[in-house]
Amino acid sequence: MPNQTTSVPAAAGAVLAATGLAHLVVPQAFHAITASAFPKDTTTWTKRNGVTEAVVGTAIAIPATRKAGLVALGAYVAFLGSRIVLARR
């Protein structure tokens, strides 16, 4: 039986990576939410966010890079939050 301590982060990372790839396959599905943080050039930012999520998710899924992935996730969430705040001004 797999160790639950490692399988939960691996699964969460895989889901995040898959969501990132979905940004690239069906970007229109993410335009509305992306526009709230990036009202200008939403299409480009949808793709950038997709690549970022795919890379960060992959890093979280792999035990050897998990800590770096979690740090990157924190930075990414802070970046998105700041963009939402700035876009509402």
- Give the whole-angstrom CA distance, residue 52 versus residue 66: 15
Structural domains in the chain (count)? 1
pLDDT band at 5 (very low <50, low <70, confident <90, very high): low
pTM over 0.85, yes/no? yes
Residue 60: give the domain boundaries: 4-87
Question: What pLDDT does 4 receive?
Answer: 62
Question: What pLDDT does 88 receive?
Answer: 86
**Cβ-contact 53, 19 below 8 angstroms:** yes
Question: What pLDDT does 28 receive?
Answer: 96
pLDDT band at 53 (very low <50, low <70, confident <90, very high): very high
Burial of 20 (0-12, 13-18, 19+ CB in 10 A): buried
